[in-house]
Every structure is written in structure tokens, then in C-alpha cells.
Structure 1
């Protein structure tokens, strides 16, 4: 594998009910889901999702996790490859607050979303205690990836980051893909965190799943930029109002305005039809 983007990162010398001990085989079973515009979203919490990840690591059963916001759900309506990748995931969690509201409107009782950056932070904290080995795939460039690794190590002493790779902004050749797979497999990673954005990360996980030994792959999009300190996260009160999209739009209007102008109204109209159909029993 070319060394241009590869990075050696070896370390130098709210839930439905109270947390309970769960056997790995039981925890590895995906939770039930609710269909929102054709995308099954897991009825889960941070704790339950992390139990699932840890159980898969322990049993060695392979899978991948999609972290879905409204953008993901609506992009699935017009991108068949993305739709297949999401539908074939082992677990798709509701990252966006509007998706939690939609699930609850259909009769669920989810207390909160499973926000990708927060899931990554909580599981890294957990991994520092359990010894779970992680690989970082993504980042704007190698410098951003290095900063991400440094920040995670500072926040979670003992975290085992066993490798990283910042891919170029183009499709990898078959030879490059195999080189990446070999690098990840040599690292002995248990979990591969993938931060290359929707829809690339979902398609990458689906395509690479059989080539990788790591039990769990998790696509978390902008989490890499947030944890590297390159992009500011919306305040908690903004997130709780489901207005994180507006905050991000104010920070990156040129890149994001088309996405939100198209997908947000489309989601509201599409879900209104689904909700009305559910109420009428059709």
C-alpha cells in the first residue's frame, strides 16, 4: 500500500432500562427496528448499541453499522447502491433527532437518538478500559487523521489505536483496496471507525466487509472532523431541538445548502404520507 495516506498509529510503550449484564451471544442479536421511509432503524440506545459492538468483537461475528440521519434515509430513496448497503447492514441506528421523532410518532418510545460522534466518543472511552483495538479510516487528509488520533489518545488514555488510513478523494483501484484491506488486517483491529461521509462510507463498508477480519465496521461521517477539532459541533440545546442541520448549514453553507434544501422538505412530505397511511391502516 502506498505510504502517502497510510499512517502508523501504534500506541507508544441512556437507555430504556437500567444496564444489565448480557451474555455475548444474546447481545450480538440486533435489536428490533422501525421502518421509516423504507429504512429499518434500530430501537436501541447508546448502551445497547455498544453492547452489540462488544458482543460482535467477542464472538468474532462480522457486521457493519450504519449511522443514519435524515440525509441518509432520503439519499436511499434515489441511490440504489446506497440503499442496498444500508439494508444489508447489521445495524442501522437513528443518528438524527427528527428520525427519533418519526419513530416515536409510529408508536415507539425511544428516549434519544444514537448520534454518531457521541457513539464514537463513548465507545472509545469504553475501549480504553476493555482493550478493544481500533482502526481509523477517513479524515480530510493525513494531518487531520493524525490530529484525530492525538485527540482521542489524550481524552481516553490507554486507547489502542492500531492503525489509520486517509483515503484520497477518488475511487481506489482494486490494488489500492486490497492494500488497505491488508493493512487493516495486519493491524489486528477489532473495530474500524469509518469517517468518509454518506454515501461513500456505507458503500465502502458493504464492499469491504468480506475482505476485512475486523468484526465490526462503523460509519460515523463527520465524527472524525468533530473529534479532530476541525469542525465545531452544534450546542446541545440546538441538537435537542433537531436543528443541528441549521447550525451546520450556517458553518458550511456552500457545501450543505443543496442537501438540506432538497432532503429536509422531501423527508417531511414523505413521512407525513407514511404516518397518515399508518393511522389509516393502509
Structure 2
């Protein structure tokens, strides 16, 4: 392993022996934008990719959260989800609404960092560096299809395991432990967890210390996109903040409530709070 420094958020130099900034100090660092008390890294896409790649290389155990508007809403409504996101090691902004809010709050994020693209690029980097990958989640057979596609596209990639668990498998201690043992036995350095939010974040949080992998990333529909099971929105649509609309038209039955009933009112409320400098505050939970 070479020595030297890398560039952390906003040009903050960090030694390779301590690449990942801990959340406990995040709110005090100039390289983070705080939204509802959650520190979001002020980094470009390439900086996030470099940051996470260095975490894998230096074996700095990292629970990374790809924060979008829907996960932020869940965190603000549910104390348990908030604590999980808050306890993670690193958060980046996966969605244009967070970029818009950061600009309104005079702490602009340089760009959105799409989680699905990040998963693919972390696979590419892992193939080059010899790191091993495990896919947990997605519907039965989908992760295997994604694995086959990536093996054709990225020579040298090591996807050492896939598993599509039943819901009850994760809830039962014994069968869940078998899943953890399976991942550990595979020697995976990176685990992508595609169980849907907030289940995927909860699972990583609950099994963080038992897992021997270095990087753990909740990845939503990313494995479906790689496998071709869902159509990924063109980049220009994502860049203008309309990826949600593209996905809504593609799957209205599943996504109407999430995007229209739940997320849009939350975005409106947060925009109003940001005008009055109240969107940085930790949410008030009832009970």
C-alpha cells in the first residue's frame, strides 16, 4: 500500500490510514452540508468514488448511505430510521432535490451522486483492484443476472456470492446468522444490499459488527438496473431532477404513493423550512 494523502470533502486532507470521516465529527467539518441534523458530504461524484475506493483499499470499515428524498423523509418521520442513518459512516446526496435544498441553504452541493451509477463504478474499481463483491437482495435470479452481465463487461470482477433472502429469513435470528456467515465465508470486501429502504439500511445497521466486509452499501434498485430488469432513466433526466417522474411512469402502481402522496408534500415542507433556516434542525419525534 502506498503512502500519501487524498482529497476529502472541500479539499480537507486526510491520511490514507484514516480515510473515512466519522459521523460524530461530521457536523463540525467544513466539508459537510447539514440537513435535518444529518451531515451530507459536499463532494463531486468523482470525489465520492475516490473516497469509497480508498476506504476499501485501506480496509476502513464503512457503512455508506445513499441519501435521497424518500429516505430523508423516512428518517424524519421515524426515530429508528433516523438513528440508523445518523450512525452511518458516510452519507452522500443521491438526488437533485437535496442539491436544490443545499443551494437554498447557502451550502451548495456540487452535484447529485446517483447511487446506481456509484454501484456500477465501485464494481469497476473493485475489478481493477481485486476486491470481492457480494450482492444481497433483489428478486430471486436478478442478482445472478446482474452478476453475469458484469462478468462479461468487467474482466477480472469477482462477485463471490449472491443471495435473495425471504423476508422471514432476515427477521429470524438463526437464518439471518446463516446469511451473515455466508457473506463472511465468501471473503467479500464489498456488500451491496438491495432490500428496499429502510429495510436495507436496518439490515446493515443490525449486522454491521458481525460482517467482515469493509464497505456496506444499501443500493435499492441498482441491481435491477444492472440486470436490465428495470429501465434506468437517461442521465439528462436525472440531472434536471425528473428521474422520479420517469420511474413513476414506468411503475405507477408501486411508486404513486411514495412519490406523489408521501415525498412531494415532504419536499414542499422542507423547502419552506429551508427559507426560514429551519431545515438544518434535528426533527422532533413524537413519543
TM category, shorter: 0.7 to 0.9
Q: Distance in 2 between matches of 1:76 and 1:22?
A: 29
Task: Report matched runs for 1:1-282 at 5 Å.
Answer: 23-29=15-21, 32-141=31-140, 143-170=141-168, 171-261=170-260, 262-277=262-277
Determine helix, strand or coil for the equivalent of 2:77. Answer: coil
Shift of residue 68, structure 1, vs aligned partner: 1.0
Mark the runs of 5 or more structure 2 residues left unpaired by the alignment. Answer: 1-6, 280-287
Shift of residue 137, structure 1, vs aligned partner: 0.8
Contact residue 131 and residue 159 of structure 1 kept, 8 A: yes
- Distance change (3 Å), C-alpha of 1:35 and 1:271: farther
Question: Which of the pair has the greater relative contact order for Cα pairs under 8 Å at 6+ separation?
Answer: 1
Per-residue Cα deviation, 1:240-273 (whole angstroms, up to 9, x for no partner) = 1101111111111111111112222222222321
Q: Distance in 1 between matches of 2:215 and 2:197?
A: 18
Contact residue 64 and residue 216 of structure 2 kept, 8 A: yes
- Distance change (3 Å), C-alpha of 1:73 and 1:139: same
Shift of residue 53, structure 1, vs aligned partner: 2.1
Q: Distance in 1 between matches of 2:109 and 2:67?
A: 15
Contact residue 70 and residue 264 of structure 1 kept, 8 A: no
Shift of residue 108, structure 1, vs aligned partner: 2.7
Contact residue 144 and residue 228 of structure 1 kept, 8 A: yes
Shift of residue 23, structure 1, vs aligned partner: 4.4
Contact residue 127 and residue 158 of structure 2 kept, 8 A: yes
Shift of residue 94, structure 1, vs aligned partner: 0.4
Per-residue Cα deviation, 1:113-169 (whole angstroms, up to 9, x for no partner) = 11111001111111111111111111111x111101111111211111111111113
Q: Distance in 2 between matches of 1:90 and 1:212?
A: 15
Contact residue 63 and residue 209 of structure 1 kept, 8 A: no
Mark the runs of 5 or more structure 1 residues left unpaired by the alignment. Answer: 1-14
Shift of residue 44, structure 1, vs aligned partner: 1.9
- Distance change (3 Å), C-alpha of 1:51 and 1:24: farther
Shift of residue 237, structure 1, vs aligned partner: 1.9
Q: CA RMSD in A?
A: 2.5
Aligned length: 264
Determine helix, strand or coil for the equivalent of 1:178. Answer: helix
**Which TM-score applies when normalising by structure 1?**
0.86
Determine helix, strand or coil for the equivalent of 1:67. Answer: strand
Q: Which moved more, 1:254-263 or 1:265-274?
A: 265-274
Q: Which moved more, 1:266-275 or 1:63-72?
A: 266-275
**Which TM-score applies when normalising by structure 2?**
0.85
